[in-house]
Amino acid sequence: MNKIEYHPIGVIHSPFQTPEGTPIQTSGAVGVEAEIEVYPEFADGLEDLAGFSHIILLYHFHLSKKFSLRVKPYLDDVLHGLFATRAPARPNPIGISVVRLMKIESRMLFVQDIDVVDKTPLLDIKPYVPDFDVRKVDRIGWLEKKTKNIKKSIDNGRFAR
């Protein structure tokens, strides 16, 4: 296989200085504000983005350490296969968050509902479109009875060690 290389298009500036204490999903970060700095060479790509209320951020989990294929996720105390979790320590440590876009000024995006650590490298931005992105699901696996406390769940730092 050929080497795959990504380069950041910007950086996320959030109030969370370390993984510990950071909400583990955006549903637990309602109202938390952040700024996203898009690097100058990518600024033209922001044209027309202001027309969307929500955007999808793809980013690099730069503080995640080595991964394991079996992990104990934040919402459970038993091991699960890594790909059945959203644990940040992964073979390709890529994160995804849907956030509310408040405004754009030049190459700065002002967002809310962020669950990302400060200085996280931004890989891509996509518009969130419910007709494309919302699906009716039949099952959510082991998480079926675990999501009720998601709004209170925060990172304990275990995946950055």
Indicate whether 161 belongs to any domain: no
Q: What parts of the chain have a pLDDT lower than 70?
A: 140, 142-161
Alpha-carbon span 40 to 57, nearest angstrom: 18
Indicate whether 160 belongs to any domain: no
Indicate whether 1 belongs to any domain: no
pLDDT at 110: 98
pLDDT at 143: 67
Residue-number span of the structural domain to which 126 is assigned:
10-155
Within 8 A by CB and 6+ apart from 45, the residues are: 9, 38, 125
Indicate whether 3 belongs to any domain: no
Indicate whether 52 belongs to any domain: yes
pTM: 0.85
Give the type of residue at 20: E
pLDDT at 95: 94
pLDDT at 29: 80
Indicate whether 47 belongs to any domain: yes
pLDDT at 22: 79
Indicate whether 5 belongs to any domain: no
Question: In total, how many domains does the chain have?
Answer: 1
CA nearest neighbour of 159 among 22, 25, 67: 67
CATH number of the structural domain spanning residue 39: 2.40.30.70
